[in-house]
Structure 1
Amino acid sequence: MGERLRIVHCFRSPVGGIFRHVRDLAEAQVAAGHQVGIVCDSTTGGDYEERLFSDMKDMLALGIWRTPMQRHIGPGDMAAALRTYRIIKELQPDVLHGHGAKGGVYARMFGSLLRVSRSRVARLYSPHGGSLHYDETTTTGKMFFGLERLMERFTDHLLFVSDYEQRTFRRKIGTPRPPHGLVYNGLRAAEFEPVPPAADAADFLYIGMMRDLKGPDLFIDALAATEAKLGRKVTAVMVGDGEDLPRYHAQVKRLELADRVRFLPPMPARKAFSLARLIVVPSRAEAMPYIVLEALGAGMPMIATAVGGIPEIFGIGSPALVHPLASQLTAKMSEALLDPDAYRAFMPTPAELKARFGADVMAAQIEKTYFSALGRKTSEPKDGLKRPIVSRVS
């Protein structure tokens, strides 16, 4: 076995693609002999995320540390930052990997503070979209992009999950100054096993965060319009949670779809895939969404918006891609229902997906980046700390 690293992943909200990415990385890094820990927010996530943490706790030598972290900059930020710094300082990481805007600031800021008093800490940042979703012409966007430019001084390596994300960084912030690279999200081997639809499967599935950025409102509008276009009822399942969920319930009721649209709480993606015959990803913005990879790996036909890194999965100009408009979703949903077999032919093949989006490939590339950021140092591994496996700091 090579040198063992102490790796700490820092991010804010333990939901969605970022959390999935960190779980995959942590599992692969532990298997490679490294000691891994997680530091994230304690106020977000629900029962489903708690079960995921429970499944992980025995494998993470550095534990799972949860403390309140605000999404937006505000008066409570200083206290939250101090709590998080104390946790990370105790964990003595060799690698501090920040994910998302908040995690990226914390990892680079605290990693820099640790370097004042001890040996080198590699400070890595994966945006996962994050602040890159802001409009560069707005005051808020300019503020965040100015902060991103400033934080480059404290960054040893930038890791992008899609070429789109990399290009967006260049366009909105500038050419990255620190070393940087592209590593696609990846699926485990078992995730390429097909998931057949249940006997009572609905026509369409939406799964993801219940917020406008992900397009649930577009999906609901397109359902109503698809019914009108085809002259028959259409059924759907919507899986997920979020601050805008009550508004989507009201939208379904207003459009008189309540008896045909079923809302369900978060659940494992492969369990959700069996609930419908076709998945719709109506996002207005993305980086490299796991749900697209997971659904395609499971053999599920899909309609997706051509945003973020999604075209990199399907190929530019794929007939399965549309703009994030209810009218275009409607046309494609109607087409898929009228001839499901013909529509399925638009999907990438399993062989194409495995070659580019394997979890083993992702983990190996990121580990190589860690050692590069550390200058490929060789030293004896440090002793693990005797800490509680799951801790909450308030």
Structure 2
Amino acid sequence: MASPFAAPLTAALTPQGPTGHAIADLSSRVGTGERHRILHVFRAPVGGLFRHVIDLTRLQAEAGHAVGLVCDASTGGERAERTLADLTPYLALGVTRVPMRRNPHASDLHVLRTVRSQALAVGADVLHGHGAKGGVFARLAPLGRAGRGVIRAYTPHGGSYNYRPGTTLHRVYMAAEQVMARATDLFLFESEYVASRHAAFAGGSPRLERIVHNGIAEAEFAAVETADDPFDLVYVGELREAKGLPVLLRALARLRGQGRELRLLMVGSGPDTESIAAMAENLGLRHAIAFEPPQAIRPVLGRGRVMVVPSLAESLPYVVLEAAAAGQPLVATNVGGIPEIFGAFSSDLVPPGDCEALSAAILHILDEEPSRRQGRARALSNSLRTRFSMNRMATDVLCGYAAAFSAKRTRTASVPATA
């Protein structure tokens, strides 16, 4: 029998399409009536970034725009293949998959040529890059004279902005962001946190920017039913140390050492799967943790009493939005854009990397009177409805495009004609 710690290295993603009432024409809301040919460029078809692109693709297509994707061919596995196949009716401009490396590599030149070729072939007038690598390809793909009417938009999803300030990698990536800002018509930051990091460390001359929070569908606000004999704690996401998993394991070991026989369900995969599993073994947690591969989040939420998000760095994680919307009691760290999600409830967040504080927060919420715990979770859910609407997210993105096109036309008109 395979070890329960040997989860397959596939990607977690929980895409949600628009649900409920039919979507109004989003383009008419921004007052332009223009229809665009939009190419979304990103690296890995996994996780929250992929979900964000999927949601935008569906909403933009339903609003009458032609949409296509360019993404990595080597990640995502069968799960990504199925999701992209399901998305086909919304992809008038198709899907182009090409191998992309996570870190800078000579093969990036081939990807730039591929993005250029596809953009010209489909007549794209919006190149929208997502994440650090997607942002490079969408902003730097050379289009020549054909690209004079094209806008380049960029949505960071944490990534390079989450490196610790002062480190060599942080300085290198922020210097690169300064350079690429000159080729950026529109920044669409998913959180105030990332916008502030960009202003502080990439800076440069002012650019057109919008803060567009990730959005979730109305159906995701329905409460999930708790399973019989649930786990005490549940974690959903990548298995990597940057997600604070060593801190969570130490907190669990600490609580069990105090006589609390707590059980943890961990759902996901990632580059640190083996080291996380080994640490669990060394801490004597083998029988206290169940490891499972990536899967849809809502059924998982019902299998745990409390969800724990121990991240050391984040932007605006969908997993927190999804759990909070569903009324799942949460213990989360005070990092990145998570306080923007919690809003008035942000005092409940714990410092990142603090095993003692995480243990105390877990114990507090588990021992809290159930009606009080559920009441606070439902109050947080209610606070998200208007602030993190999926339709609002799509409308704000289209408003950003419209502003970028207007600014580009103004700049073009102000340039004197050459003889």
**Length-normalised TM-score, structure 2:** 0.85
The residue aligned with 1:288 is: 316
Give the distance between the partners of 1:339 and 1:176, measured in 2 at CA: 50
Q: Summarize the alignment of residues 172-187 of structure 1 with structure 2, pairs less than 5 Å apart.
A: 172-174=201-203, 177-187=206-216
User: 2:54 aligned to 13, 23, 26, which one?
Assistant: 23
Contact 1:170 1:176 in 2 (8 A): no
Worse overlay, 156-165 or 167-176: 167-176
User: 2:332 aligned to 304, 308, 314, which one?
Assistant: 304
The residue aligned with 1:338 is: 367
The residue aligned with 2:63 is: 32
The residue aligned with 1:189 is: 218
SS of the equivalent of 1:293 reads: helix
Q: Summarize the alignment of residues 309-324 of structure 1 with structure 2, pairs less than 5 Å apart.
A: 309-315=337-343, 318-324=346-352
The residue aligned with 2:285 is: 257
Contact 1:319 1:346 in 2 (8 A): no
Matched, 1:326 2:326: no
Matched, 1:127 2:156: yes
Matched, 1:207 2:236: yes
SS of the equivalent of 1:259 reads: coil
Give the distance between the partners of 2:175 and 2:148, measured in 1 at CA: 29
Matched, 1:153 2:182: yes
User: What amino acid maps onto 1:368 in structure 2?
Assistant: C
The residue aligned with 1:269 is: 297
Contact 1:318 1:346 in 2 (8 A): no
User: 1:198 aligned to 227, 235, 244, which one?
Assistant: 227
The residue aligned with 2:246 is: 217
1:296-319 per-position Cα deviation (integer Å, ceiling 9, x unaligned): 111101000000011111126734
SS of the equivalent of 1:241 reads: coil
Count of residue correspondences: 375
Contact 2:313 2:336 in 1 (8 A): yes
Matched, 1:114 2:143: yes
Q: In the TM superposition, what is the alpha-carbon distance from 1:344 to its structure 2 partner?
A: 3.8
The residue aligned with 1:368 is: 399
Give the distance between the partners of 1:226 and 1:48, measured in 2 at CA: 36
Worse overlay, 130-139 or 181-190: 130-139
Q: Which runs of 5+ in 2 are unaligned?
A: 1-24, 26-32, 410-419
RMSD: 1.9
Give the distance between the partners of 1:145 and 1:118, measured in 2 at CA: 26
1:211-234 per-position Cα deviation (integer Å, ceiling 9, x unaligned): 1111222222211112123x1311
Which consecutive segments of 4 or more residues in structure 1 shift more than 6 A?
none
Give the distance between the partners of 1:333 and 1:176, measured in 2 at CA: 44
Give the distance between the partners of 2:179 and 2:130, measured in 1 at CA: 17
The residue aligned with 2:275 is: 247
Give the distance between the partners of 2:240 and 2:145, measured in 1 at CA: 40
SS of the equivalent of 1:70 reads: coil
Matched, 1:96 2:127: yes
SS of the equivalent of 1:352 reads: helix
SS of the equivalent of 1:349 reads: helix
The residue aligned with 2:197 is: 168
Give the distance between the partners of 1:303 and 1:115, measured in 2 at CA: 50
Q: In the TM superposition, what is the alpha-carbon distance from 1:85 to its structure 2 partner?
A: 2.9
SS of the equivalent of 2:385 reads: helix
Q: In the TM superposition, what is the alpha-carbon distance from 1:119 to its structure 2 partner?
A: 4.8
SS of the equivalent of 2:339 reads: helix
Give % identity: 41
Give the distance between the partners of 2:190 and 2:348, measured in 1 at CA: 21
Q: Which runs of 5+ in 1 are unaligned?
A: 379-394
Matched, 1:143 2:176: no
Worse overlay, 67-76 or 312-321: 312-321
Q: In the TM superposition, what is the alpha-carbon distance from 1:14 to its structure 2 partner?
A: 1.2
Contact 1:162 1:309 in 2 (8 A): yes
Q: Summarize the alignment of residues 54-69 of structure 1 with structure 2, pairs less than 5 Å apart.
A: 54-69=85-100
The residue aligned with 1:392 is: none
1:337-390 per-position Cα deviation (integer Å, ceiling 9, x unaligned): 212523444434333110101001110111111122122999xxxxxxxxxxxx
Give the distance between the partners of 1:59 and 1:136, measured in 2 at CA: 40
Matched, 1:226 2:268: no
User: 1:279 aligned to 307, 312, 331, which one?
Assistant: 307
Worse overlay, 168-177 or 59-68: 168-177
1:51-95 per-position Cα deviation (integer Å, ceiling 9, x unaligned): 222221222111122110111112332233333332333232111
Worse overlay, 244-253 or 298-307: 244-253
Matched, 1:236 2:264: yes
